Structure 1
Amino acid sequence: MPTLPHAWFSARNALLALSLLAAAGCSQRPPASACGPVAYQLSDPAEPANRAVFAFNRSVDDYLLAPIARGYSALPDFTQQGVHNFVANFGEPKVFLNDLLQGNGERALTSLARFTFNTTLGVAGLVDVSGKMGLARHTSDFGQTFGVWNIADGPIVELPLLGTHNLRDATGRVLGIAVAPFGDNSDTVDTLGNAATAGGLVDGRADVLPLTDRLRTQPDYYQAVRDYTAQQRAERVAEGKADHPARCQGVPADA
């Protein structure tokens, strides 16, 4: 397995990130406050096409993802917590990388410490020993990083199977999938990565079941999801600019 510094700062990943940033373009915007409600703007010029993709995504969710997530929610709490901890720990290197890219040194050190302790003492992350030590988990992603760098939101894009994003966050989501912090030359890492991806998909969907059940009661489910996502992402960018994890009312910390 490659060393962590080499994996996190590989030239290939750096070049990929810079290429996507160049394509996205920048826009100067005023600093946001750390907690909500944070103002946001919506641009949805491709709404008819987005609604068509949303309908496809909803069908997949209704008939596959949501039923699996509801079954998963019936498992014992310790099982769900173990899966959640493992998935979160496997994603910690990307959190660390984005903390550094955002210039958030304290948060980066927290991410590094969490990954080190949970991987070694927490049985590959199944147990969140870092949380018990007072090192609270936070999340960072490339979409948030681009926002901290004042890259404009861009229009709404509904990605097949990946959901609702603005263009900036869609670019960050694709980049997050492409970046391989642990390298790609180990069967063990590939197996763990596949397990983390599958576990994260089910665990993440189960986590937002109450939210989506509530949004489904709105007259326009597409609009409800789109507007909530825009607000939540604005809060996330504000959190990154404030250099600490915000706990804003109505916005899940891990959403």
Structure 2
Amino acid sequence: MKTLFEIPAIPVVPVRGETAGYPVHRVFGVGRNYAEHAAEMGYEVDREAPFYFTKPASAIVASGAAIPYPPGTSNFHYEMELVVAIGAPAFRVDVEEAADAIFGYAAGLDLTRRDLQLAERAKQRPWSLGKAFENSAPIAEIVRAAEFADIGPQRIRLTVNGETRQDAHLSDLVWSVPELISHLSRFYHLVPGDLIFTGTPAGVGPLSPGDRVLGEIDGLQPVDITIGPAE
């Protein structure tokens, strides 16, 4: 069927050493998956089950970009994260089967309009205004799973203008990658093109126009952005 208007192109993330890229279908975010970050936000980790929010595909932006300070906020925060790229269908999979669905991993940022998120949270509303907006999910190239094994000892770190703001290890994740995939697959038919941002360590904080943000995970390409003037 013909369409009434043109739709935006599907975002495609580069894959290390390959000419074909990874087309993005959906973006899932995991909330409070590091205990110290949950504490700094005033919560304890819910150890009964992880919880999630979503971002649109338009949130994806390539590493190296300059992005505008977003509209509607005066408290714009960084959150450094390990990103999991799904590469095979997964529905109601066991934890032991979850690794079969992983295409690869990347370093990413969950950028957040914190004032809007907190205002929504206080009224027991969804976090959409705080989390789901354009350019809010910068991501570096994806590394295939076989090249990034044994998640745990890798350091996850973020600097703003060269100053360290976040510094932890992937072993600090409350819910492991297989546990997240297994749990999320109870509620969604996960498919190739789905990305899971697995949560952020403690140390989140505000950004200003002109800031350079560099996020690093051992073994992955860093994610690097600059914050431009407000829209």
TM-score, normalising length: structure 1: 0.24
TM-score, normalising length: structure 2: 0.25
More helix by share: 1
More strand by share: 2
Task: Choose 1 or 2 for highest CA Rg.
Answer: 1
